[in-house]
């Protein structure tokens, strides 16, 4: 008779006759002189019919004597019957209006769990199952049992310690999810980290994403992320999750050297539009425009949407501008406009290209009236940008103020540009100066 004294002490806390009777474990034999198989049959019948008080009356001897067999009933399984007693006590508790009686019955159910843990202490499967049942029991009765939720999480942790793989994979990660939420909310970082490290070995599907999100919640700074993922990367150099986490951390710290290394590795392992673009932008920020152009072109081949394609063409154009190759830049800006004729930034880039053309053409001489004609073309593209894409209006207006004052003056048009008239069409090409031959665009005198 295991823990019967403990049961008697707990049950006698209540004063009612029925509860006192429940607590008496001196009767280790079936009631009313019945044979064990007969009493067990009545117990089962009342349990199935949900007549829990009578089930308790005819089954209490099982709880008190914990028999492993019943003669004449070869299928008797004690652990299953003990589980029925936890149900019996919970259901009887629900019918009580007196809070003290309700609590006493629930305490009785907990004593049954204790009996199971003692009886089956050498049976790992039963021990695991009982802690699982206790955890769910606490949650189901959290409105009555003091600090029930914390006690439930204690059971989940015991389950995890006993069998981390089973606890991680059972119920789609329910137990690990709740355990981690508890630790993260309470700021118990070390405990949470241990669970994440172990559960990550067995997690699949949606639980993987949940673990990643919990992991992010534990980090307070880029330094935390770096300290956590560097050892992982050393052990597994192709770990994409670790590389992506470090990418974000190095970007936050503006550590361009390490950021470049990480992005190169990511692109090497999983070349995608995003990886090519990210690495290209890193190279551009490091003024390695040739490498940036190469990577942007890789990204362009993998681009799927019009938005990706037009922006990548424009990125290539800007990289060529930085490299000093404005003619090639112009072709990529045109490609962006062909994809989206209302792409205001592409028109602004065209204006930038033609401004660079003027700068190049007068690098070894003074700016002349004929060079100033190019500014009319620049203004044309700026106005087109604003007309087609109102979102760039502010940018355009700020630039127009720089170009209008440097266009040809009335004196320039009369004396130096063959008396050009406002509204007249002129071409910006080799006739203006050989260095403008590649532009070959028409503009309007104003």
* Tens digit of each residue's pLDDT (9 = 90 or more) over 375-431: 999 999 999 999 999 999 999 999 999 999 999 999 999 999 999 999 999 999 999
What is the reported pLDDT for 232?
87
Q: What is the pLDDT of residue 296?
A: 98
**pLDDT score of 136:** 94
Dihedral, 141, 143, 148, 149 alpha carbons, nearest 10: 100
The string of pLDDT tens digits covering residues 209-245 is: 899 888 888 887 899 889 888 998 999 999 988 898 8
In this predicted model, what pLDDT tens digit does every residue of 390-402 receive, in sequence order? 999 999 999 999 9
CB 286 within 8 A of CB 255: no
- The DSSP bridge partners found for residue 70 are 73
Longest CA pairwise span in the chain (Å) = 131
Give per-residue pLDDT as tens, 16-31. Answer: 333 433 444 666 899 9
* Nearest to 355, CA basis, from 446, 288, 436: 436
pLDDT at residue 225, rounded to an integer: 87
Cα(295)–Cα(273) distance, integer angstroms: 10
Instruction: Name the average pLDDT for the chain.
Output: 91
- Residue ranges for the chain with pLDDT beneath 70: 1-27
Of 171, 231, 117, nearest to 179 (Cα)?
A: 171
What pTM value is reported for the model?
0.56
Q: Under a CB-based contact definition with an 8 Å cutoff, are residues 354 and 406 in contact?
A: no
């Amino acid at each position: 008779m295991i823990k019967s004294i403990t049961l008697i002490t707990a049950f006698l806390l209540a004063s009612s006759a029925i509860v006192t009777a429940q607590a008496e474990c001196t009767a280790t034999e079936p009631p009313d002189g019945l044979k064990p198989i007969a009493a067990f049959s009545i117990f089962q019948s009342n349990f199935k019919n949900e007549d829990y008080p009578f089930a308790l009356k005819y089954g209490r001897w099982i709880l008190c004597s914990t028999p492993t067999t019943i003669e004449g009933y070869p299928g008797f399984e004690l652990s299953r019957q003990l589980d029925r007693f936890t149900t019996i006590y919970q259901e009887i508790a629900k019918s009580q209006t007196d809070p003290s009686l309700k609590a006493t019955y629930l305490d009785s159910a907990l004593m049954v769990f204790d009996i199971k843990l003692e009886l089956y202490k050498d049976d790992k499967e039963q021990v695991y199952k009982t802690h699982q049942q206790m955890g769910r029991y606490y949650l189901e009765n959290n409105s009555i049992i003091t600090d029930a939720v914390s006690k439930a999480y204690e059971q989940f942790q015991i389950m995890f310690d006993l069998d981390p793989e089973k606890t991680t994979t059972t119920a789609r990660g329910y137990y690990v999810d709740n355990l981690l939420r508890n630790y993260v909310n309470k700021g118990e970082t070390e405990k949470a980290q241990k669970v994440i490290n172990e559960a990550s070995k067995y997690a699949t599907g949606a639980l993987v994403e949940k673990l990643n999100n919990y992991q992010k919640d534990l980090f307070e700074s880029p330094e935390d992320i770096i300290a956590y993922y560097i050892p992982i990367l050393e052990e597994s150099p192709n770990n994409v999750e670790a590389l992506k986490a470090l990418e974000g951390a190095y970007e936050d710290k503006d550590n361009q050297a390490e950021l470049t290394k990480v992005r190169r590795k990511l692109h090497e392992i999983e070349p995608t539009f995003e990886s090519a673009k990210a690495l290209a932008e890193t190279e551009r920020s490091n003024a390695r425009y040739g490498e940036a152009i190469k990577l942007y072109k890789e990204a362009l081949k993998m681009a799927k949407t019009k938005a990706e394609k037009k922006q990548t063409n424009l990125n290539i154009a800007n990289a060529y501008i930085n490299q000093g190759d404005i003619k090639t830049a112009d072709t990529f800006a045109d490609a962006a406009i062909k994809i989206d004729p209302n792409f205001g930034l592409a028109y602004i880039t065209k204006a930038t290209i033609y401004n660079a053309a003027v700068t190049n053409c007068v690098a070894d001489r003074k700016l002349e009236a004929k060079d100033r004609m190019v500014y009319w073309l620049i203004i044309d593209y700026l106005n087109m940008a604003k007309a087609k894409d109102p979102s760039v209006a502010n940018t355009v207006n700020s630039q127009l103020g720089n170009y209008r004052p440097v266009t040809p003056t009335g004196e320039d048009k009369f004396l130096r540009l063959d008396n050009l008239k406002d509204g007249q069409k002129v071409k910006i090409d080799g006739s203006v100066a050989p260095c403008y031959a590649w532009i070959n665009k028409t503009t309007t005198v104003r």
